[in-house]
Amino acid sequence: MEPTEHPPSDGTVTVRSLTKHFGTVRAVHDLSLDVLPGRVTGFLGPNGSGKTTTLRMILGLTTPTSGTATIGGVPYATLRQPLRTVGAALEATSFHPGRTGLDHLRTYAPLAGATDQRCRDLGDLVGLSAAGNRRVGGYSLGMRQRLALATTLLGDPRVLLLDEPANGLDPEGIRWLRGFLRHLASEGRTVLVSSHMLSEIQQSVDDVVIIARGQLVHASPMAGLDALSAPRIHLTSPDTDALAALVKLQGWDVETTDDGRTVVVRGTTTSQVGSAAHAAGLEVHGLTDRSENLEDLFLRMIAPPGDPVLDHREPGSTPTGVDA
C-alpha cells in the first residue's frame, strides 16, 4: 500500500443536514449522522426512503440540494486517492457479461493500484475462486454480490459503502457476509451497509441508523435498539400518578402516555407489577403485556404518520444521534 492521505483513524463518514429534492420528491431531508471506523453500521429504511440517494451524495454522484457529506473530514470529490479511501458497491448488476469475474477485477485493478495477485486473492476471499474464470453473464445474483464486494476491496479502502449487499445471497451467504463485514470492521475500517430488512443485518451491525421518508427516525448502537424492544407492560388505573410512583420506587422504567390514562412499564413482568400494585392497595383496571419484537419496533418506527395500526409511538420518543 502507498501512504494514505489521512491518519488511519480518520475514516469517519460525516453527514450534516443533507437534503435532496428531485423536483417535488423530497428524497432526503435534513439528514445528519456519523458513521464510525472499526464498526459495522446498518443503514436501514423501507424502499424509497432515501438510502441510495444518501450513499450517492456521500460519493459525490448526486449533488445535494443542501447540506454536506464528508469522508475523513473532506468531500469525496476532493479525495486524492478515492478508490484507495472508499470502496462502494451501489448495485450488483453493472458487470460486463462477457468478462470473467477475475477479468472484471483485473479491469479495475490499475485504477485502484491492485496487483494481479491481489485480484486472485480477493476472488478467493469472497468465495469465488472456482467461479473466477467463468463469465459474469452466467453468475447468480449472489455471485455478483460477492464480485461487487471484491471490487470494492481492490484499493484496500478504509471506508466501505455497501448498498443492500445481502440481496440475492442464500442463508449461508448471508452468514458468510456477516462474518466478513465484522472482519473488515475489526481491521479498523468504516463499514456502512444499507438494507430494507432489519432481520437481514441485525446480527452483523454494531450501530444502526434508521430512516423513513428521507428523514432520520433512529440512530444508536444496536444494543440501544434492543433495549427499546425490551418487555413493555401497559397498566390502566384511576390513579396513574400513584401507580407510576410505585413503579418508580420498584426501580422499573416507567412512562405515562400523553393522555395520562396509561402507565407503561419496562424491565419487569406482568405478575410482578400486578403483585406490587396489589400489595400497595392500588386499583388496576388493565394489565397488558405489550412487548414487541425488534421487527415490530422497526415497522412502527418507519410507519407513515397516522398509520392506524403501526403508528403508536413510544411516549417521549424522539430521533437520537449515534452515541457510541
Ligand X SMILES: Nc1ncnc2c1ncn2[C@@H]1O[C@H](COP(=O)(O)OP(=O)(O)OP(=O)(O)O)[C@@H](O)[C@H]1O
Of 156 and 207, nearer to ligand X (C-beta) is 207
- Decide if residue 19 touches ligand X (CB under 6 A): no
Residue 46 or 72 with smaller CB distance to ligand X = 46
Task: Give the residue with the Cβ less far from ligand X, 44 or 83.
Answer: 44
Nearest partner of 155 among 112, 211, 98, judged by Cα = 112
Q: Is 42 in the site for ligand X (CB under 6 A)?
A: no
Question: What is the Cα–Cα distance from 32 to 13, expressed in whole angstroms?
Answer: 10
Given a contact cutoff of 8 angstroms between Cβ atoms, the answer to whether 168 and 140 are in contact is: yes
Let me know if 279 is exposed, middle or buried by CB neighbors in 10 A (0-12, 13-18, 19+): exposed
What is the Cα–Cα distance from 185 to 143, expressed in whole angstroms? 22
141 sits near ligand X (criterion: CB under 6 A): no
Specify whether the backbone of 214 is left (phi greater than 0), alpha (psi in -120 to 50) or beta.
Answer: left
Q: How far is the CB of 98 from ligand X (least distance, A)?
A: 27
Q: By CB under 6 A, is residue 237 in contact with ligand X?
A: no
Contact status, residue 132 vs residue 101, Cβ threshold 8 Å: yes
**Closer by beta carbon to ligand X, 247 or else 302:** 302
Ranges within 47-86 binding ligand X (CB under 6 A): 47-53
Longest dimension (CA), the chain: 78
For residue 219, give the H/E element and its range.
strand 215-221
Residue window 194-223: x/- pattern of binding to ligand X, with contact defined by CB under 6 A: --x---------------------------
* Residue 22 engages ligand X in binding (rule: CB under 6 A): yes
Nearer to ligand X, 27 or 147 (CB): 27
Contacts of 94 (CB under 8 A, 6+ apart): none
Query: Measured between alpha carbons, how far is 284 from 238 in angstroms, rounded to an integer?
Result: 7
Spell out, one character per residue from 143 to 182, where the chain touches ligand X: x when CB under 6 A holds, - when not: ----------------------------------------
User: Length of the chain in residues, anyone?
Assistant: 324
Stretch in the footprint of ligand X (CB under 6 A) among 21-29, 170-178, 179-187, 244-252: 21-29
User: Which residue in 13, 27, 31, 92 binds ligand X (CB under 6 A)?
Assistant: 27
Q: Closest approach of Cβ 209 to ligand X, in Å?
A: 12
Using CB under 6 A as the criterion, which residues of the chain lie in contact with ligand X when the complex forms? 22, 25, 27, 45, 47-53, 196
